[in-house]
Amino acid sequence: MSTQHPAREFAFDIGPVRVAPATALAPMEGITDKGFRALIRGMGGCGLTVTEFVSSDLMSRNVASAWRLAELPEDEHPVSIQIYGRDPEKMAQAAEYCEQLGADVVDLNLGCPSKAVTSGCSGSALMKEPELARRMFAAVKAAVSIPMTVKMRLGWDTDRLNAPEIAWMAQEEGADMVVVHGRTRMQMYRGSADWAAVRATKARLRIPVQVNGDILTVDDAVAALAASGADGVMVGRGAMRDPWILRKIADHFAGRVPYEPPLMDRRDTLLKYFGMLEAEAQTDRRAVGRMKKVTGYFTRGLPYGTELRETIYHSFTPEAIRDAVHGYFERLQAEGVADGFTRIHEAEVTDHTSGDSRNLTREAECCVQ
């Protein structure tokens, strides 16, 4: 468990945009839609939200699905739209669209490791082409008046740990912040994020740096900041499992005891999000698919989570899924489970292969040095 931290300012600036507290919700494909971002922001402690990544190519071709990903509620600020691609002109055009849509920040994706993105030489594949990345930074910066940020990995592989160089290029071309995930692209999600390796990037730059990767608890946030020297944390999977994680981190660095919601508040939060999904889905079938996906993330690593996921997998209506969730939380309450959401239950993490960080497990050897 974390110990109380002496109160200090926990904030930084992305150009004129204040990020206070110094926490951000990471962009996650298929997860960080408008509803999920509203859910996390509503929990408190979220300094910045970021959309799912949006294809600059599809935006430039006016494809409706891309524009839907970039839609922003009027009350969501500060918010960043993340775009990806490899054509500087199309990236600049997409960035202009992001500004017109009301984004406070535009973020360039040099971090996505998925084959669907890197096979098109975008995302983290751009770390192998620094000069192209530089031209992209310059083109985007010239196209917008809002701040530009860049999210990246440590490098393509262990032989090319060039995040400090790429980040420095971004800074020199006008970037106002960078985020570094503590893995290479070739690691994908295997092993543990090397927070200490982010320190080399922080040492090279004048602009703020956020550390990202494997931040699942308050203790992780404390350790990641200490190891990296970063100015803030960006949390992805940790927020899917515990929507209050950013609030807890903010509480800790404000000198408050981290908030721990009652068990039934957790149930009500999940059910509230289900309502958001149903309202946005055009059919029950689509709503059920999203509800299954969310519940899978929300319960991974929790007591009896495997059983709940199995039940929901065989549920085919929103009502059946809600009933299963009610039953799950009633079981936890009846058995007096008090730490189900504050520690990881190793017996419940079987969805990915051994060594995959999406299992929410910890390596025997800590990556923090």
pLDDT in tens, 290-325: 888 888 777 766 788 889 989 999 999 999 999 999
Domain endpoint, select from 230, 253, 276: 253
- Better-scored residue on pLDDT, 87 or 361: 87
Q: Both 290 and 244 in a single domain?
A: no
Is the domain of 184 the same as that of 276? no
Same domain membership, residue 183 and residue 57: yes
Mean pLDDT, residues 193-215: 97
Question: Is 7 among the domain residues?
Answer: no
Q: Distances from the Cα of 226 to the Cαs of 163, 223, 232, in angstroms?
A: 19, 5, 11
What letter would DSSP give residue 81? E
Rounded CA gap, 268 and 15, in Å?
A: 37
Report pLDDT digits (tens) over 64-87.
999 999 999 999 999 999 999 999
Over residues 126-146, mean pLDDT: 97
Give the number of other Cβ atoms within 10 Å of residue 109's Cβ. Answer: 24
Average pLDDT (113-124) is 71
pLDDT recorded at residue 119: 57
Q: Are residues 143 and 226 in the same domain?
A: yes
Written as six digits, the tokens of 21 are 């507290």
Residue 302 resides in a domain: yes
3 in a structural domain: no
| 285 in a structural domain | yes
Give domain status of residue 228, yes or no: yes
Task: Tell me the CATH number at 220.
Answer: 3.20.20.70
Q: Are residues 156 and 106 in the same domain?
A: yes
Instruction: Print the domain residue range for 102.
Output: 12-253
Choose, from 46, 98, 112, 367, the residue flagged as catalytic.
Answer: 112
* Closest among 131, 132, 130, 67 to 101, alpha carbons compared: 67
Task: Give me the pLDDT at residue 8, please.
Answer: 63
Per-residue pLDDT at 115: 67
125, 200 Cβ separation under 8 angstroms? no
Distance CA 177, CA 179 (A): 7
- Residue 98 appears among annotated catalytic residues: no
Over residues 179-207, mean pLDDT? 94
CB atoms near residue 190 (< 10 Å): 15
Domain count, the chain: 2
Provide the CB-side half-sphere exposure for 154 (13 A, CA): 24
Give the Cβ contact number of residue 334 at 10 Å.
8
Q: What length does the chain have?
A: 369
The confidence score (pLDDT) of residue 261 equals 86
Please check whether residue 101 is in contact with residue 77, taking contact to mean a CB–CB distance below 8 angstroms: no
For residue 124, name the pLDDT band (cuts at 50, 70, 90).
Answer: confident
Phi, psi of 135 (to 5 degrees): -60, -35
Q: Coil, helix or strand for 158?
A: coil
Same domain, 319 and 187: no
